[in-house]
Structure 1
Amino acid sequence: MELELAQNLLKRILILGGTGEARDLAGLLVTKPGLVVISSLAGRTEMPQMPLGLVRSGGFGGISGLRDYLAQQSISAVIDATHPFASTITEHGIQACQVAQIPYLRLTRPAWQPEAGDYWLVVHSHTEAAQEIPGRGNRIFLTIGRQELHHYRAVPGWFLMRMIDPPASGSEIPKGELRLERGPFALADELALLAAYRINLMVSKNSGGVATYSKIIAARQLQLPVIMIQRPEIPECEQVNTIHQAWDWLQGKLERSSSGNE
């Protein structure tokens, strides 16, 4: 009976993630008394870096599936620390939490901003990025992951494609070479890579963060143009930029819930 009562007093926190920020947040929250931390991974990476705490893998089955999971697991709050381009799960998380009346927070790493010496062409989709390549470069460093390679399959030129896991068998990909690597990447290595492959154009998503920012610095130093794909818009919601801000938010929500104000 005492064990059951103690378990009922624990607050179960769901982290939607797979990013470095999600792992760091899980590592912080598991040190806090009274919390059960569950990290949800999309399951797209073959050998993900595992966070501390409990872990589940795979999709929820849409908004209704996520809403059911929140109820079944008695989740007290959801912190969405997914990739800035993972807009679908973010939209599902916002809507599911609204229906379930559970606090939701988006932990978003700040986007990269152009600096002096950067030559960026800002676009808003992979389709637009592919259309802008002809005439700008013929040896392209394509750093967008493996999910969207098909947008570039008919684009003329040669592509160096870097990602963590290989594309699915039978995927349509552009002409070039696959390079399977996981960041962070050192600036010296990025400079050497761009020089060795004679890259004259880069295509990148504006992922933000420090793990892959060295490629942006390398492009700046080599005066390479960058086609920069901007992040998708997400519905209005509470947002923070650091794991410590996320903890402050969570503390406030849990304290108000305990006092009966929510």
Structure 2
Amino acid sequence: MILVLGGTGEARRLAGELPDVISSLAGRVRTPRLPPGEVRVGGFGGPEGLRKWLRDNKIDAVIDATHPFAARMTATAARVTAEEDLPFVVLRRPGWTQGPGDDWRWVDSVASAALSLTAERVFLTTGREELFEFVGLGNWFLARSVEPPEPPVPQRLHVVLDRGPFTVEGELALMREHNIQALVTKDSGGEMTAAKLTAARELGIPVVIVRRPPLPDGVVTVSSVDEAVSWVRGIGAV
């Protein structure tokens, strides 16, 4: 049995291509897109909870296909699987690459992104759980999330509830409608939400991008679903 730590499009695809898979979702979204097959929702209760769950469910290997910024879950899984001598791989889609005409400013955290802002009207796509980092700032913010954010949030905030994939035309219309002067995002990678970067380039808008957190030392990584499937076959788990 293989445990896929999911929540991404890659995780959903992986669950459909491998037999004997249990997909685990963090449960932060009330109506997630569910992968095929068996699914569990919610946290494990820290390292010891994950350890017990892996043993109780006789897991043979773990694939971490979580969001590139789910650093705590990745660190916990890497530690526990190493201690339990379980095969472990991290599936991470490649990050975005800056191209001609892009005005990107890299920072190490959402907090650093907040401190760097000079534009008056800012489009935030960093996730609803980190809007508190922008509390106390005088900027006007447009935030997009799947579900409504909970306080604390910036005083001057307009929220758009939406879920990708997004189009360049849609992103251009949204940014023009709200007279956006800067975009803040994370280096999530992938095509599902990349349209905002193209729209920002076409509008000449600077983009503040949060770098990905580093992966734990020594973990095996793959960058595609096909590579993850090959890894599973290579260790003899299917």
Give the corresponding residue for 1:228: 209
Query: Which AA in structure 2 matches 1:114?
Result: Q
Residues 124-163 of structure 1: pairs in structure 2 closer than 5 A:
124-133=108-117, 135=118, 137-163=119-145
Secondary structure of 1:99's aligned partner: helix
Secondary structure of 2:14's aligned partner: helix
Give the corresponding residue for 2:220: 238
Give the corresponding residue for 1:197: 178
Give the corresponding residue for 2:96: 112
TM-score by length of 1: 0.88
Checking the alignment, whether the CA contact within 8 Å between 1:19 and 1:83 is kept in structure 2 is: yes
Secondary structure of 1:156's aligned partner: coil
CA distances 1:140-198 after superposition (whole Å, capped 9, x unpaired): 00001111000001112100000111113xx1111120111000001101111111110
Between Structure 1 and Structure 2, how many residues are aligned? 236
TM-score by length of 2: 0.97
Answer with 1 or 2: which has the greater Rg. 1
Query: Which AA in structure 1 matches 2:131?
Result: L
Match of 2:86 among 83, 93, 102: 102
Query: Which AA in structure 1 matches 2:224?
Result: T
Give the corresponding residue for 1:7: none
Checking the alignment, whether the CA contact within 8 Å between 2:110 and 2:126 is kept in structure 1 is: no
Residues 1-262 of structure 1: pairs in structure 2 closer than 5 A:
12-29=1-18, 35-133=19-117, 135=118, 137-168=119-150, 171-174=151-154, 175-236=156-217, 237-254=219-236
CA distances 1:187-235 after superposition (whole Å, capped 9, x unpaired): 1011111111100010001110110000000001111001111111121
CA distance in 1, matches of 2:176, 2:29: 29
Aligned-residue Cα RMSD (Å) equals 1.0
Checking the alignment, whether the CA contact within 8 Å between 1:16 and 1:40 is kept in structure 2 is: yes
Query: Which AA in structure 1 matches 2:142?
Result: L
Stretches (4+) displaced over 6 A: none
Query: Which AA in structure 1 matches 2:166?
Result: F
CA distance in 2, matches of 1:231, 1:154: 25
CA distance in 2, matches of 1:181, 1:163: 6
CA distances 1:63-87 after superposition (whole Å, capped 9, x unpaired): 1111111111000100000000000
Flag structure 2 segments of 5+ consecutive residues without an equivalent. none
RCO greater where, 1 or 2, for CA within 8 Å and sep 6 or more? 2
Secondary structure of 1:254's aligned partner: coil
